[in-house]
Structures are given as structure tokens and as C-alpha cells.
Amino acid sequence: MNRLSIAVRIVLSAGLLTAGAQLAACSGNGEPDLAPATPTTNSISISIPAPSSSSGAPNTDEITTAAATQLCDMIRPEVGTWRDEGTVLGKISFNGTVHNWAARNGGLNDVVIANRKIIDTITLEHCPDVRQQVLDALDIPDLASGLAGFN
């Protein structure tokens, strides 16, 4: 399922939930609204325009400074836990943190899959001290080698 399909489903679901809530609030007197005795010819039409390239949507393959900072902020408090857990469990938790970060930032998982070393690049630029702590805690030569499931 592509991102557009997911977005359309979310928009439709949100619209239907909003319409249902508005209809439920219409009676106001606590009594259910009665349906008309004869069917009406009114109909509801929903139209969703296709996205355009100039719609101002963010580039989901772009790692912004804010996203890079967030990665460092997500890793920093976990390093001690990963050190205490040992290298095997620590690597699993590290992977979960990177997957979580990528998902929170527009689905950057595909960017990381295409180039696992991007995590090293980001952390070298934005938090080299945290990167070094992770390397020491997980006993790995670089962060890319600690990522599983991004092959």
C-alpha cells in the first residue's frame, strides 16, 4: 500500500468520523432523530483532489536538521541502558530506536534501508559524542553495522 493510498484512507476516515459526530450532535434534546417516512433524493458527494507537486508537502526522503537533532535526542538517554543490557539486547533496542525515529519522520526507513551509513553521517555531524558512546556500549565499529533489518 503506497503512502498516497494510506493518506486517502486516513482523510476519508477522519471525514466520516467528523460527519458522524456532527450528525449525532444534531438532535441536541437527547432523543434520537427520526428518519423521514419517505426516502429523500438528497445525496452526499465526497471529492478528494489529487495531490500536486506544488502542494507544499514535505519531502519524505529529506533528513532535516530537526529530524537529525531528534535522532540524537532519542539515542542519548538510551546509551546507558544499552550498555547495561549487553551488546545483543542493546543492538536490538538500538534498532528499535532507529526504526521508531525513521517512522516518526515521514517514513525515513526507506532512506536508511538504502544507506545504513546515513545514521553514522547524521550522528557524526550532530552528536559525535553520543555516537561514540553508542559504539562503545554496543561494541561496534560504526552504527551502520549495528542496524539489522535495514539490508
Per-residue pLDDT 10s for the chain (151 aa) are 544 445 445 544 555 445 455 545 555 555 555 555 555 566 665 555 555 544 444 455 678 899 899 999 999 999 999 999 999 999 999 999 998 998 888 888 878 888 889 999 999 999 999 999 999 999 999 999 998 754 4
Task: Count up the domains in the chain and report the number.
Answer: 1
Query: What is the domain range of residue 103?
Result: 65-146
Residue 28 within any structural domain of the chain: no
Residue 99 within any structural domain of the chain: yes
Residue 114 within any structural domain of the chain: yes
Q: What angle do CA 7, 110, 97 make, to 5 degrees?
A: 95
**What pLDDT is attached to residue 151?**
46
Buried b (16+ CB within 10 A) or exposed e, 67-79: bbeebbeebeebb
pTM: 0.59
